[in-house]
Amino acid sequence: MAEAHQASSLLSSLSSDGAEVELSSPVWQEIYLCALRSWKRHLWRVWNDFLAGVVPASPLSWLFLFSTIQLACFLQLDPSLGLMEKIKEFLPDWGGQHHQLQGLLAAAVFALCLWGALIFTLHVALRLLLSHHGWLLEPHGAMSSPTKTWLALVRIFSGRHPRLFSFQRALPRQPVPTAQETVRKYLESVRPVLGDDAFDRATALANDFLRLQAPRLQLYLQLKSWCTSNYVSDWWEEFVYLRSRGSLINSTYYMMDFLYVTPTPLQAARAGNAVHALLLYRHLLNRQEISPTLLMGMRPLCSAQYERMFNTTRIPGVEKDCLRHLQDSRHVAVLHRGRFFRVGTHSPNGLLSPRALEQQFQDILDDPSPAYPLEEHLAALTAAPRSMWAQVRESVKTHAATALEAVEGAAFFVSLDSEPAGLTREDPAASLDAYAHALLAGRGHDRWFDKSFTLIVFSNGKLGLSVEHSWADCPVSGHLWEFTLATECFQLGYATDGHCKGHPDPTLPQPQRLQWDLPEQIQPSISLALRGAKTLSGNIDCHVFPFSHFGKSFIKCCHVSSDSFIQLVLQLAHFRDRGQFCLTYESAMTRLFLEGRTETVRSCTREACQFVRAMDNRETDQQCLALFRVAVDKHQALLKAAMSGQGIDRHLFALYIMSRLLHVQSPFLTQAQSQQWLLSTSQIPVQQTHLFDVHNYPDYVSSGGGFGPAHDHGYGISYIFMGENAITFHISSKKSSTETDSHRLGQHIENALLDVASLFRVGQHFKRQFRRENSDYKCDSLSCKTVDPNIPTSSTNL
């Protein structure tokens, strides 16, 4: 998703003013530092797990084991088979009167050793079970007897009530693919988009790489994989995100509120409930009471990304940023009309009620005081190039350290916007586009982009979330957002007058206005940052449209993967839009492994191109459908390979970084890393929590989120399945490009959806219905083919 932009700018992040920047750390030092950071995280997690009782055999089980041993001793039985007598020999001899105490200590030591051995055995067995990925290769919707047996064993060894981090030490490490297999897959992926001469050159470079540089680089990379938790994730965070010197607007992504419902029009009330719900989530997170995410309800995913969700800020540096994470924070930072406030979230009795939080937000909205000089547009600095913001930040820190610490040390950031947003009846299309743009970039100076996430509350009560990408990927922040929407709407709720439930607290202190005593010397920097942020924001073209003719339920009837269905639709729509194929970036997760993040699925395959050409050449439905199923199978194979650690791009990326550390020149790796993603796609996960009941409340569905394009002449596309019968697409592009148009591509996507659906007999009536409702429907490829008039037109027949 938004990471595609950062990945495509990797080469520029390792250069300064066009000159190559050498990675000065020797490779052994780099491996040592990576291992040190990894083991520090491990030790912290072990200690945290012990304190929270997350180990699979709860600490209470040791007490049960000790009591059982004592009962056996009372019955004159020796369950240790003489080991407790051996343990007594190593204990101090306190005399006959303390013989019973010595026996208790020996039993406690034996129980502890036995308990630890059982836990270790449990971890080893669970790790071996979780290292199995054969279930991924099974046909869609089928489960063999061995997989059912494997699943039963996983559930047995996982314990009764696993917590968020219960599986961390049992997750396998991400494997390092072979260089030969990665290069083979790479050449296969670029064949559809390269001419014969260009492909021959790429093949020659690949063969030279395999012969000359690959063995040495692969050896060092294998060594790194043995020493660290994940051979690629730490470098991915550092070089793709933290070393990127561009604006954070390029990598930020957003999430929307309910599409059709706004629970209350009161801005302060909605902010109070939302902030309270977010802090409830943080409370559950700190106590590790959030259930771990299970893929397909059976395979646990890594939870490491949850650790830096709250109390986290990206601190700018001249060459490299860093993530600053605090263990706790008892306030949020609020921005309204260019003024910054510190709002306390806790009292001596605990978390403030939603009504108390609403009261504080209302005080901010009612405050008529103007912004201080240089304060109104100060946040634009966080949207500036990182090196520039790093230099200015030192001056801000010197003159306004308290205010800066209040913002950077907050649990998260809240922006109270003065404008309404969301879907309107008067102009639904334009209103959704403006809503998306406001969440993605705002006005350039009304978001603190450094914070891990910003809660945006519009004047009409509509919500949104803007997320900084370096600390986590979309599924993690999506889980937080679904919990927040469900909790603030269904559990906390609102009174009949729209306010939060409860009563105001007259003893509550006023929000603290932050004082920015800034020197005039930074005024030019703020003005420059503001112009740059407005230019970036104004150049982004966002288009959001809900497609309601069919959704996941219809695709299920076609017996194909819903994600593969959409990916092929996007290939068809993009070809109609641009008249050519391009490298396509689809984000897939690798959280089946410890500290895994994402991998790239290269969706523009040879099989997909053959299907698109058949559609464009108006082949018969039977021919197109046969090619469609072949392309779906290929996409599924690539997706499963990426999820099981056998993808292409993360391995090539790690090999490239290793080559830079070893000062090894590789034209092949340089070429592979300089590729441009003209089409960046991602599916937004939905219904990750049990709190949503979309069947009884069909209007209470989130409309997903989106991100910016990865290339100046490319598209960024995200999509979300809203319930069973609708799909929402978020499309972005650059207005400055003469080759892209988000609205034009949206029309092509809508047409392509109907054309692909018409290949299936059960879907042909959708097109007829759409053509009746839209007289300006354009005839694209198969859109004018004759269909069987006996097909029923009621969607209930699906």
**Beta carbons within 8 Å of 437's beta carbon, 6+ residues apart:** 537, 540, 542
In angstroms, how far is CA 245 from the centroid of its own chain? Answer: 21
- The Cα–Cα gap between 612 and 604 comes to 10
Q: From CA 324, how far away is CA 524, in angstroms rounded?
A: 28
Count of helices and strands (H, E) across the chain: 26, 22
Per DSSP, the residues of 246-305 read S-GGGT-EEEE-BSS--S-S-HHHHHHHHHHHHHHHHHHHHTT-SPPPEETTTEE---GG
Alpha helix stretches (DSSP H) within 601-648: 606-616, 621-643
* Rg of the chain on CA atoms, in Å: 28
Catalytic pick among 5, 445, 469, 574: 469
The 10 Å Cβ neighbour count of residue 225 is 17
- Contact present, 534 and 443 (Cβ < 8 Å): yes
| Rounded Cα gap, residues 494 and 500, in angstroms | 5
Distance CA 23, CA 765 (A): 60
436, 556 in Cβ contact below 8 A?
no
- The C-alpha atoms of residue 7 and residue 238 are separated, in whole angstroms, by 11
Nearest 5°: phi and psi at 593? -115, 160
> What is the H or E stretch that residue 752 is in?
helix 742-757
Q: What is the DSSP string of 516-562?
A: ----GGGHHHHHHHHHHHHHHHHHEEEEEEEE-S--HHHHHHTTS-H
Q: Cα–Cα distances in Å, from 591 out to 98, 230, 597, 732?
A: 53, 11, 6, 27
Dist CA 108 CA 567 (whole Å): 59
How big is the CA angle at 245 (ends 239 and 248), to the nearest 5 degrees?
100
How many angstroms separate the CA atoms of 221 and 163, rounded? 32
Residue appearing with tokens 């999506």: 478
Main-chain phi, psi angles of 186, to 5 degrees: -65, -50
With contact defined as beta carbons under 8 Å apart, do 462 and 422 qualify?
A: yes
Report the C-alpha gap between 632 and 622 in whole angstroms.
15
The backbone torsions φ and ψ at residue 700, rounded to the nearest 5 degrees and listed phi first, read -90, 65
Residue 226 zone, left/alpha/beta (φ > 0; ψ -120 to 50; rest): alpha
Q: What dihedral do alpha carbons 618, 620, 623, 628 form, nearest 10°?
A: 60
The neighbour count for residue 698, using CB atoms within 10 Å, is 14
∠ Cα 304 309 312 (to 5°): 115
SS3 244: coil
Q: Return all residues near 279 (Cβ < 8 A) that are at least 6 apart.
A: 345, 351, 411
CA–CA separation, 627 and 350 (whole Å): 60
Take residue 91 and report the two structure tokens written for it. Answer: 């204990």
Kindly report the backbone phi and psi dihedral angles of residue 531, in degrees, each rounded to the nearest multiple of 5, phi listed first: -65, -40
Q: What are phi and psi of 101, to 5 degrees?
A: -65, -40
Which of 398, 414, 502, 476 is closest to 451 using CA atoms? 414
Asked about 469 being catalytic, the answer comes back as yes
- Annotated catalytic sites, by residue? 469
